[in-house]
Structure 1
């Protein structure tokens, strides 16, 4: 299965097999996942049962864990190919979990940076969906854009393991997780680039507890957690001690790009709802689609989608090739977050009061768009870091443009 990337960085043109697979994923999300969204959003035993049923169906249909390693039970798709499916899969927030790709970041991190025992113990259960993981980086009293000030502490235990004390918040999925990767300072002082480490913590460890759930604009799934002298084995260190930022940076680049792909899928869903509403709704002054202001919403939303998609796939291509994608990921993240908020806002406007109520997914999609401008670093962080990186090339040492 091959794909080709255009020189402009536009979305690759998939071959027939990739096109067919994307259609199958899109159909599964539309007919299987989306009808279960209200149950899945509510949480509890009913949500757990619905998710198990969806995962069973995904396996039966040959759609389980498509981007995960084949030797671990996944589909083995390279990232460049999976990126063509991620947009369709991410049209629902529950798509990645239902189709088994939600663990891609953790599986990739552990496969590349964990020791032998951790890989042998956890990777296959992660791919199969038997266990769940989460990632704890941010803290209430530390600016999320400055991990160098991390207050959680990790130290050596007498038995050769680690002892961890601290508190994290906005830890996605911690309530149902079996493992949590914790960023902790294991040496040095606050502000030092060296001395931060990533430690894999089983959530049934003594001293680990869920402090509270933190709804995001009313949506569940985020948690505050506490680690009170939690002990973990010495081989549960991810990467090198004191060198967590390299691993975290690699994870963030992939994670941000995945989010962008999924935001494209959600924006496309909102766009389709808006166009369907405009095309079928009529009033005393004629069809909604004939109103110029409605046409303006449609045009602007389409323009946002069409101009954002190439930016995202430019980042995909660089990450798939193992190249530096920091600038491209920063551009894509800001553009995709803004685009999702803009498109869903237009869709709500065209729906009128119906767009504010429970009968469409638009309120949830809009909430996701607003949160997107803060998740994985606020817009301001990406704007300043990208601009500084670009401006360095125009400094005193740079060649003056001719």
Structure 2
């Protein structure tokens, strides 16, 4: 295994760090304050488009896309992109500046890989240009969506159209005022074999019958402006040309979508954990309880040492998964992908929790990013499949691997 980054990745890492330090960190508090103001709910910070243009001009645009797409992507591998995602993860909202935000990244990958030329022209090009945003609608409130075969949204053929009926929630990106299209997962054939009942279809957000019922918060955070929506689909009619890949191909698309997305999520979590470690280390020399600075206490040193070990262990595991995906594909890397999805959010939560404890009262407020980091890390033990699903499948695969292996 060789996790040395390519010259292209190293150059982009330096450029991205410089951009973050010059253009993003100085306005972090301003943007956080803007979005925490209830009067600005579901509004975009006024300076965002200008900042995105600066990133585009600097060549820091669509760096997530794992293959070249015209002149709109540098065509990085998963391993090359991983450290860039970590850098972006240090500030929760910064990925959008570089057009690298979920769920747009996954949706763009789906359109690039599975979309027809007409679908790509209508939706992928404006997404790659950063002109619009998108949503992904899979999870449903009335069924156990950790098993996606349970979804009940129907996608019914009617002449030259499909008619969609169902209710979705935790539809990330759905609240953004620039969200113009959703990828919806539903069933085109309830009687087919379990994993070929589902299909994915493109639904413009202004289609009659699509209604946003409410915004959902995560531990009190709305994540404005993109947010998480509960959406009702009531006789939503779209042309048959909006179907992705074909009927019964929904799971196939989902597997192609989720592998890279989990790398992105995990590396952003490592960025959160790394920044949390830096914040708590800096705090130890600023506070002096009982006549000594915190850095002189053995217990504090141990917490910081353990955090540094756990971050590096997890970083190497995620890079291993990224490397294997690049070399042999998502399917062959499925066990490593499951491992990182299990390990990374738990690691990040542990490190963030230690940082909060060391900072005390400051750690639970809005003066540092720690509280929001904690909420974001906790939801990722559920998003893209809960821990239990990944552990069940990984355990099954591991048992199968060794049960007939009698060699010493």
Task: Quote the residue 2:297 is aligned against.
Answer: 291
- 1:191–1:242 CA distance, 2 compared to 1 (3 A): closer
Q: Are 1:270 and 2:267 matched, yes or no?
A: no
Task: Quote the residue 1:154 is aligned against.
Answer: 155
CA deviation string 1:67-88 (max 9, x = no partner): 3434152333333311221110
Task: Note the C-alpha offset of 1:52.
Answer: 1.5
Task: Note the C-alpha offset of 1:254.
Answer: 1.5
Q: Please tell me whether the aligned partners of residues 311 and 332 of structure 1 are also in contact (alpha carbons under 8 angstroms).
A: yes
**What is the rounded CA distance, in whole Å, between the counterparts of 2:116 and 2:379 in structure 1?**
35
| TM-score scaled by length of structure 2 | 0.91
| TM-score scaled by length of structure 1 | 0.92
Task: Quote the residue 2:184 is aligned against.
Answer: 182
Q: Are 1:85 and 2:84 matched, yes or no?
A: yes
Task: Note the C-alpha offset of 1:378.
Answer: 1.4
- 1:389–1:383 CA distance, 2 compared to 1 (3 A): same
User: Which residue of 197, 202, 205 corresponds with 2:204?
Assistant: 202
- 1:16–1:185 CA distance, 2 compared to 1 (3 A): closer
Task: Note the C-alpha offset of 1:289.
Answer: 0.3
CA deviation string 1:294-348 (max 9, x = no partner): 1121011111101111111111112222421111011111111001100100001
Task: Note the C-alpha offset of 1:17.
Answer: 4.5
Task: Quote the residue 2:324 is aligned against.
Answer: 318
Task: Note the C-alpha offset of 1:190.
Answer: 8.8
Alignment gaps of 5+ in structure 1: 7-11
Q: Are 1:130 and 2:136 matched, yes or no?
A: no
Task: Note the C-alpha offset of 1:263.
Answer: 0.4
User: Which residue of 48, 54, 61 corresponds with 2:58?
Assistant: 61
- 1:230–1:322 CA distance, 2 compared to 1 (3 A): farther
Task: Note the C-alpha offset of 1:277.
Answer: 0.6
**What is the rounded CA distance, in whole Å, between the counterparts of 1:359 and 1:247 in structure 2?**
41
**What is the rounded CA distance, in whole Å, between the counterparts of 2:388 and 2:266 in structure 1?**
17
- 1:374–1:250 CA distance, 2 compared to 1 (3 A): same
Task: Note the C-alpha offset of 1:29.
Answer: 3.0
Task: Note the C-alpha offset of 1:44.
Answer: 4.1
**What is the rounded CA distance, in whole Å, between the counterparts of 1:167 and 1:100 in structure 2?**
28
CA deviation string 1:184-234 (max 9, x = no partner): 111134982222100110001010110100101111111100111111111
SS for the counterpart of 1:14 is coil
Q: Please tell me whether the aligned partners of residues 40 and 51 of structure 1 are also in contact (alpha carbons under 8 angstroms).
A: no
Q: Please tell me whether the aligned partners of residues 63 and 76 of structure 2 are also in contact (alpha carbons under 8 angstroms).
A: yes
**What is the rounded CA distance, in whole Å, between the counterparts of 2:402 and 2:9 in structure 1?**
42
Task: Quote the residue 1:27 is aligned against.
Answer: 18
Task: Quote the residue 2:310 is aligned against.
Answer: 304
Task: Quote the residue 1:165 is aligned against.
Answer: 165
**What is the rounded CA distance, in whole Å, between the counterparts of 2:250 and 2:118 in structure 1?**
19
- 1:20–1:37 CA distance, 2 compared to 1 (3 A): farther
Within a 5 Å distance, the mapping from 1:328-343 to structure 2 comes to: 328-343=336-351
- 1:388–1:217 CA distance, 2 compared to 1 (3 A): same
Task: Quote the residue 2:108 is aligned against.
Answer: 107
Q: Please tell me whether the aligned partners of residues 135 and 180 of structure 1 are also in contact (alpha carbons under 8 angstroms).
A: yes
Q: 168-177 vs 112-121, which deviates more?
A: 112-121
RMSD: 1.9
Task: Note the C-alpha offset of 1:362.
Answer: 0.9
Task: Quote the residue 1:39 is aligned against.
Answer: 34
Task: Quote the residue 2:363 is aligned against.
Answer: 355
Alignment gaps of 5+ in structure 2: none
Q: Are 1:369 and 2:377 matched, yes or no?
A: yes
Q: 376-385 vs 20-29, which deviates more?
A: 20-29
Q: Please tell me whether the aligned partners of residues 150 and 190 of structure 1 are also in contact (alpha carbons under 8 angstroms).
A: no
- 1:25–1:55 CA distance, 2 compared to 1 (3 A): same
Within a 5 Å distance, the mapping from 1:233-248 to structure 2 comes to: 233-248=239-254
SS for the counterpart of 1:49 is coil
Q: Are 1:385 and 2:385 matched, yes or no?
A: no
